[in-house]
Structure 1
Amino acid sequence: MFAATAQRGHTLNGILLVALFAIAAHTISQTGLISGLGLSPLIIGILMGAIYGNTLHQHIPIEWHAGIHFSARRILRVAIVLYGFSITVQEIASIGWQGIVLAAAVVAAILTVGFYIGTKWLKMEPETALLTSAGSGICGAAAVLAMEPVTKAQSHQTAVAVATVVVFGTLAMFLYPLLDGMHFFQLSAEAKGLYFGSTIHEVAQVVGASSALSAQAQEYAVIEKMTRVLMIVPAILVVGWFMARRVSSSEAGKGSLTASIPWFAVGFLAVAAFNSFDLLPQEMVASIHQIDTFLLTMAMVALGMETQVNKMKQVGSSAFILAGILFLILMVGGYFLVKLLGI
């Protein structure tokens, strides 16, 4: 009994260590320069965790690692469920069927094309290809985190995928307003907002890029982005089923959809549906959102702590090449898709 109590204490110490890093990440993300770059606490958190994991991790008791692992897995699942408070069905309905079709088409196309190019052309591991594609096609770092459990990816694969979101999402945040200022985008205000929201990686990056647009266009951009966030659920279900089939087929069995259902994704959808009824005060929802962002940051810190540079080197430059290709597909293909839908 004493040993069990001591183990729980060590686990709690590991969780508290991760929480301290998450607090620091939130503080840093709110500073002028970092805030201006649109880098969320999640991104800062995984960078801090990775630096720590490759320098000072040997200076903590190995027993604390259970708390770090708990943060990267269990806390992550709770955070994904609470992420449902960020969206409502009413918001999605406000952009019309074109916006919903646009979001679904972008997510489906990027996941499919990204997996094919990554595994067939670039000879990447399926897990890394899927995580990189999810980061580009759905909602950046949050999508990478949500996909990590169903792909059963390792921490270094998750970290590399998040790194591609930082590079190309930040590039998009500055490039899109620049091109718009040069009148490259011949679109209406609503269409321009949907274009920004459907093709830029992170929510914060969409907000940053669309701030150069009209108020109406910015509203459409954010709602379209949150519609892509909701696509996490079907994407996780399909990817989970697909990965289960790959594993089971190699073992001469048949994939089971029931066995691969990630219930935290179902929880996310249930919370989003509940949030649509507007039963909770807005102040409470805002507080839940802040707590959720902190929990997601903890998960990112923990994943960073579990990431080793030598393992990241094994992935090589393939993830960044894939992310660059997907970035061009999003920017060019997304534009013509918006035109095709007649928005």
Structure 2
Amino acid sequence: MTSPPPPNAPAADSGRADSGPSDSGPSVLDRVPGLALAVGIAVVATIVGRFVPLIGAPVTAIVIGLILATLRRPSARFTPGIKTASRFVLQLSVVVLGSQLSLAQIARVGVESLPVMLGTLVICLVAAYLIGRALGIVGDLRTLIGVGTGICGASAIAAVTPVIGAVSIDVAYAISTIFLFNVTAVLLFPVVGHALGMSQHAFGLFAGTAVNDMSSVVATATTYGPAATQFAVVVKLVRTLMIIPIALVLSAWAGRRIAAAEAGADPAPARSRVNVFRLVPWFLIGFVVVAAANSIGLIPTATHVPLSAVSVFLITVALGAIGLSTDLAGFRKAGPRPLILGGALWIVVSLASLGLQFAFGLA
């Protein structure tokens, strides 16, 4: 169930793969007010996030943005900058995220981890389609909740949002839904791990595949032990790579959907006219290039922590802008069904992670 875009929402075609890394139209000066507002929100959210790490800066930013938008909706002079922050800055954060990955990490995680990571992803996406359809949730909101739960929370939503051109209300609902169950995982998973007698290695794999955002993964695994934390972080980083194939598939699907809508006909005739290279979003290319550079040592190890902080801050800026452009009236109209979908997927992924570990003798 997809709500109509609010007045200040990013344009629905912002996810086209053939769009460049920046908007066209407004000048740099036109963007300054909205960007400054989004950055200000991000700074405050970052400070709050340090005192309340369980919530984190990104979620805090979207809440602040929502509160400000509720108290007083930003005027038109803020719109260009808000759109830039919720679009280009969002894309840039994904590129910087590549600095945390290397091809060698995939090998270190080992073949034993891949069946669980891939299995939980496939099960989650299939469940998102089936359960979402049964609940009457169609379109972008179902997709965002599915990829957010199956891959890596806010980062996956950040990557997919510009690809499919999701409106801000769907992004806000998806992130809020996933955050709720991340907090539940932080509190519940260590208890489950001890009850099942899971090893540090097994629990790290469980946390890395069944919890989404990195802050929540770290919080969950740290409670269990340092070895679990180290393994969970590596699993989580490798799991982030699943953004690439999923976003490419969604990009191709979105391109066909747009072509069919423009032609007013079945998508099949337009399929041959689609330029495959234009289906690859610029920020995903950047993500792969940065990850490859990190693999061969072009990105110094000493910069990993600062770059990780930069990526989180950029996501925080973008989510603050999304909060500012969110229509809470439309948010309420979505009803409880998306929350039910998020809860169902969280349970499915958690059980799938445990089940696959036991099936492969990893628990």
TM-score (norm 2): 0.86
- The answer to whether residue 215 in structure 2 is matched with residue 195 in structure 1 is no
Contact 2:293 2:299 in 1 (8 A): no
Contact 2:257 2:267 in 1 (8 A): no
How far did residue 228 of structure 1 move?
A: 1.1
1:24 to 20, 44, 66: 44
The code of the aligned residue for 1:265 comes to L
Contact 2:123 2:352 in 1 (8 A): no
What does 1:36-75 align with in structure 2 at a 5 Å threshold?
Answer: 38-58=54-74, 61-75=75-89
Q: What's the counterpart of residue 301 of structure 1? A: 320
How far did residue 88 of structure 1 move?
A: 1.8
Q: What's the counterpart of residue 105 of structure 1? A: 119
The code of the aligned residue for 2:191 comes to L
How far did residue 313 of structure 1 move?
A: 1.9
Contact 1:26 1:41 in 2 (8 A): yes
Q: Return 5+ residue gaps in structure 2 as ranges.
A: 1-23
1:292 to 307, 311, 314: 311
How far did residue 248 of structure 1 move?
A: 4.5
How far did residue 108 of structure 1 move?
A: 2.4
Residues 34-76 of structure 1 show CA distances to partners (whole Å, capped at 9, x for unaligned) of 12xx222111111111111121224xx4122101111100111
Distance (Å, rounded) in 2 between the aligned partners of 1:238 and 1:10: 34
2:35 to 15, 26, 30: 15
How far did residue 193 of structure 1 move?
A: 1.2
The code of the aligned residue for 1:243 comes to A
Residues 313-332 of structure 1 show CA distances to partners (whole Å, capped at 9, x for unaligned) of 22211111101110110121
2:156 to 139, 143, 165: 143
- The answer to whether residue 195 in structure 2 is matched with residue 175 in structure 1 is no
How far did residue 282 of structure 1 move?
A: 2.5
- The answer to whether residue 295 in structure 2 is matched with residue 276 in structure 1 is yes
Change (3 A) 1:337 1:302: same
How far did residue 238 of structure 1 move?
A: 1.5
SS in 2 for 1:98: coil
- The answer to whether residue 240 in structure 2 is matched with residue 229 in structure 1 is yes
Contact 2:149 2:342 in 1 (8 A): yes
Change (3 A) 1:244 1:336: same
1:130 to 143, 150, 155: 143
TM-score (norm 1): 0.90
SS in 1 for 2:111: helix
Contact 2:148 2:154 in 1 (8 A): yes
What does 1:197-216 align with in structure 2 at a 5 Å threshold?
Answer: 197-216=208-227
1:253 to 267, 273, 284: 267
- The answer to whether residue 355 in structure 2 is matched with residue 342 in structure 1 is no
The code of the aligned residue for 2:322 comes to L
Distance (Å, rounded) in 1 between the aligned partners of 2:166 and 2:248: 16
Contact 1:7 1:63 in 2 (8 A): no
Q: CA RMSD in A?
A: 2.0
Residues 292-321 of structure 1 show CA distances to partners (whole Å, capped at 9, x for unaligned) of 221111111011111010111222111111
Contact 1:150 1:260 in 2 (8 A): no
Contact 1:84 1:272 in 2 (8 A): yes
Distance (Å, rounded) in 1 between the aligned partners of 2:281 and 2:123: 22
Between 1:291-300 and 1:240-249, the stretch displaced more is 240-249
What does 1:111-126 align with in structure 2 at a 5 Å threshold?
Answer: 111-118=125-132, 120-126=133-139
1:158 to 168, 171, 174: 171
